[in-house]
Structure 1
Amino acid sequence: MTRRKTLSDLGVQNLKPKAARYVFPDPELGGHYVRVTPAGGKSFLALSRDPSGKQVWATIGATDLYEIEKARELAREAIKRIRAGLPAFEEKAKADTFKEVAENYVKRHVAANGLRSQDEIERILQKYIYPKWEKREFVTIRRSDVASLLDGVQDKNGPRQADYVLAVVRAICNWFASRHDDYQPPIARGMRRTDPKSRKRARILDDDEIRAVWRLAENNGTFGAIIRLALLTAQRREKIGAMKWDDIAADGVWNIPSEARQKGVGGALQLPEAARKIIAEQNRIGENPYVFPGRGNGHFQGWSPCKRGFDEKLLTALREEMAERGGDPEKAKIEPWVIHDLRRTARSLMSRAGVRPDIAERVMGHVISGVEGVYDRHSYFEEKKDALNRLAALVETIVNPPAANVTPLRAAL
């Protein structure tokens, strides 16, 4: 076979696989080869003999990792070392695995800064990322690896979960890049699986839906109580789920704790009678300090399974009502809704009840913008009390309307 006078990067790229693995010699450097496998994989190799005359092959690396001039440089060094009786390459310090980098990120960034998302970050790492990359050398993770990971999550758990995984991977890679001179994160624009703008929700429950959800919630234990309080107080589900008995004063004032780096909360809220009654109906469990207890001495956490069970019961109720009215129960369906939609619904109901927009925003704990938000330090306690009373009165009217105004549960809730 006639050797080529030179071998370029394009020439390496154009080497074709054969039925059996073969090596192609580099015309410009004796002892430097390209190995081509039947599957099309290509690697740079160095070949020389050690002082005892033994032939030693050394793999430099895949051809897509090095340009040929860099491969030749590494091959020359490897040949010199082999001839001197040394290992072909200097042993490098053990590279950090993805898990080691991720754990360091959690320790030095997430925990050190008190990020409230720590539990969720660790859950995503344990469930979606470690099973694939736990022992993977961190710096070898490439863009195609990220895309493959996201494809698997999207196929099994949906595009939104894939985006949450991407957010964690991106954060870890960016943090690592801030601490190392030569590292380039393997994340590119366009890797998201959903459009953030399209995810913004505008869903609120109408009166028929409020009535159906409320009536089912009345007989649905702890989760049902949380559902009703979410509608009566306009507070986030996490704050309601973590409500402590000590947070509720004897006069019914709920002092909502606010933690560092946390979105705003409603502060001190005088709860309406309907909300106080729901709380009073809850049983204290041993030494557990929470109104809605969870495992051990923790608070309620079972959002997803309880929501699924609640929706199943809601669908059953809908089917039974359709059957009573002579309709086809199989055509019954539930229009998707999430617990946070109740917060948005409560805000809309406050406007409907005549509550001033700035007061409704303060009830929800939203930041008031501009000069007013900076200089107005009034607590607005009485105004927020009036807003929640108006909200509770309107909810009562919706849930128990005059008989002539009752609308049957719709076929598509």
Structure 2
Amino acid sequence: MPSKRLTAPFVEKVSAPDDKPQEDYFDTITPSFGLRVGKRRKTYFVMVRTLKNGKWTMTRVTLGTTVELDLKTAREQARDAIERAAQGLAPAEVKAERKAAQAEESRNTFASVRDEFLVKYRGRQNRKPAPRTMAEIKRVLSSDLFADWSERPLAKITRRDVLDVLDILVERDAEVMANRTLAYLSMLFGWALHREIITTDPTDNIKKPGTEQSRERVLELAELRAIWQATEPTQANHGDLFTGIVRILMLTGQRREEVAGMRWAELNLDARTWTLPANRTKNKREHLVPLSDPVLEIIQARKTEQEAMRLKTEYVFTSFGSRPFSGWSKSKARLDGRASIAKWTLHDLRRTLATRMAEDLRIPPHIIEATINHVSGARAGVAGTYNRALYLDERRQALEAWAGYVRRICFAEQAEQSNVVELSTTRALG
């Protein structure tokens, strides 16, 4: 039996001799590991000492054909069989175990694991992400980019496969979507790795393929005024729910889904408060929002409209009664056409409130964070655990001051002035 350093090119090219049906080649790198070359197939094997009937005997263990295994995998399985035999275990089970693993892989396709992930995934603090977030993840991971992946075992998807998908998005000038896609794939593969569905994560250490503009946009005073004026009631936008939502976003700094999903049961108009239950906030904490005069006016106008329409509904902002407002894209596009300012997002209103409250109104950070229900800085960690003060009076003063600020910005003849706050307000909040 000839000895030969087995290499991938040799395995591919070698053929059975003409004068006999087969030839065995023993590897010089891994003793006892070899390749049997026959007329119709090439098979990896390993010779091991096994314990049978109280005696150690040499046994040939077939690992698999060159179609089933590459050289690297076969060599690893040979070493595993040698170790198992030395421990008195049955090395012949290696092939059976590999077959079982292959069967399991075939069941764990990209599509099946993705669908299971969308149901079972939990994020920070073991919480299920918001429905909107999961819907976006499902939309991205179910796109035509992954059509060829659907029936493939998840374990067979490689780093190159991931990079090819990201390259397509970058070529489409969809760099932000490329980054999001990488993030969602990392979540999926990380979850599968934790569940031992796969043993390696093909997204590991892949850098973001695209560039993104900073999300730290704070609106200028003239831009605030333009947005406010674009939400003025007119014949053209009469009954437009979106304009009221935008103004409440600007005046309260709450999140868009919280405002759009506002329920009458959450409101106490006599006490001028809006209580968001824990299941409707991002940080899962109940949050009380004091309501300023302009916010109350918007809510009261909706109440009057619904009464006139005889519309019975739990929602403040709804057209049909059975569900809250949801027409974001078209409504935002119409508003942008009227406002005519540089590209902005609804979340910029929240960031602008927080920033200008601090810089222009001199409101302390812990009051601002309590006002917008943001847990970081002064309210994060141990400090946040033990400091549960509501700061209700201070928050009410802060939002009243902010409402006055917005009104002066929007109705002043010279809105360019940046210091529009009375010193008495600053002292009251300090």
Q: TM-score, normalised by structure 2?
A: 0.67
Equivalent residue letter for 2:344: W
Equivalent residue letter for 2:159: R
Q: How far apart in 1 are the matches of 2:197 and 2:151?
A: 23
- Residue 281 (1) aligns with residue 291 (2): no
Equivalent residue letter for 2:387: D
Q: How far apart in 1 are the matches of 2:172 and 2:39?
A: 43
Q: How far apart in 1 are the matches of 2:142 and 2:214?
A: 28
Q: Cα–Cα, structure 1 residues 157 and 264, in superposed 2: closer, same or farther, change >3 Å?
A: farther
Q: Which runs of 5+ in 1 are unaligned?
A: 16-22, 35-43, 47-57, 74-88, 316-333, 408-413
- Residue 258 (1) aligns with residue 278 (2): yes
Question: Aligned to 1:344, which of 351, 371, 383?
Answer: 351
SS at match of 2:185: helix
CA contact (8 A) 1:147 1:191 kept: no
Q: How far apart in 2 are the matches of 1:8 and 1:92?
A: 28
Q: Cα–Cα, structure 1 residues 62 and 399, in superposed 2: closer, same or farther, change >3 Å?
A: farther
CA-CA distance at 1:313 after TM superposition: 3.4
Q: How far apart in 2 are the matches of 1:194 and 1:357?
A: 33
Question: Aligned to 2:227, which of 213, 219, 222?
Answer: 213
- Residue 104 (1) aligns with residue 116 (2): yes
CA-CA distance at 1:62 after TM superposition: 8.2
SS at match of 1:254: strand
Q: How far apart in 1 are the matches of 2:331 and 2:261?
A: 16
Q: How far apart in 2 are the matches of 1:260 and 1:392?
A: 24
- Residue 381 (1) aligns with residue 392 (2): yes
Q: How far apart in 2 are the matches of 1:371 and 1:244?
A: 33
Partner of 2:139: 123
Question: Aligned to 2:291, which of 271, 278, 300?
Answer: 271
Q: Cα–Cα, structure 1 residues 302 and 150, in superposed 2: closer, same or farther, change >3 Å?
A: farther
Q: Which runs of 5+ in 2 are unaligned?
A: 17-22, 26-34, 44-64, 80-98, 417-430
Partner of 2:337: 312
CA-CA distance at 1:276 after TM superposition: 1.2
- Residue 135 (1) aligns with residue 151 (2): yes
Q: Cα–Cα, structure 1 residues 145 and 355, in superposed 2: closer, same or farther, change >3 Å?
A: same
Q: How far apart in 2 are the matches of 1:243 and 1:235?
A: 11
Deviation digits for residues 196-238 of structure 1 (CA, Å, limit 9, x no counterpart): xx65522111111111111112245222222111110011112
Q: Cα–Cα, structure 1 residues 301 and 353, in superposed 2: closer, same or farther, change >3 Å?
A: same
Question: Aligned to 2:15, which of 10, 21, 25?
Answer: 25
Question: Aligned to 1:363, which of 371, 375, 395?
Answer: 371
CA contact (8 A) 2:254 2:350 kept: yes
CA-CA distance at 1:337 after TM superposition: 1.3
CA contact (8 A) 1:8 1:68 kept: no
CA-CA distance at 1:382 after TM superposition: 1.4
Q: TM-score, normalised by structure 1?
A: 0.70
Partner of 2:262: 243
Equivalent residue letter for 1:340: H
Q: How far apart in 2 are the matches of 1:113 and 1:338?
A: 27
Sequence identity, in percent? 25
Q: How far apart in 1 are the matches of 2:111 and 2:258?
A: 32
Q: Cα–Cα, structure 1 residues 33 and 343, in superposed 2: closer, same or farther, change >3 Å?
A: farther
CA-CA distance at 1:361 after TM superposition: 1.7
Q: Cα–Cα, structure 1 residues 186 and 260, in superposed 2: closer, same or farther, change >3 Å?
A: farther
Q: How far apart in 2 are the matches of 1:370 and 1:108?
A: 27
CA contact (8 A) 1:256 1:267 kept: yes
Deviation digits for residues 87-142 of structure 1 (CA, Å, limit 9, x no counterpart): xx898454321111112222233498432233332232233665342222221111
Q: How far apart in 1 are the matches of 2:320 and 2:203?
A: 39
Q: What is the number of residues matched between the two proteins?
A: 339
Question: Aligned to 1:223, which of 242, 247, 258?
Answer: 242
* Correspondence list, 1:181-220, <5 A: 183-194=199-210, 200-219=214-233, 220=237
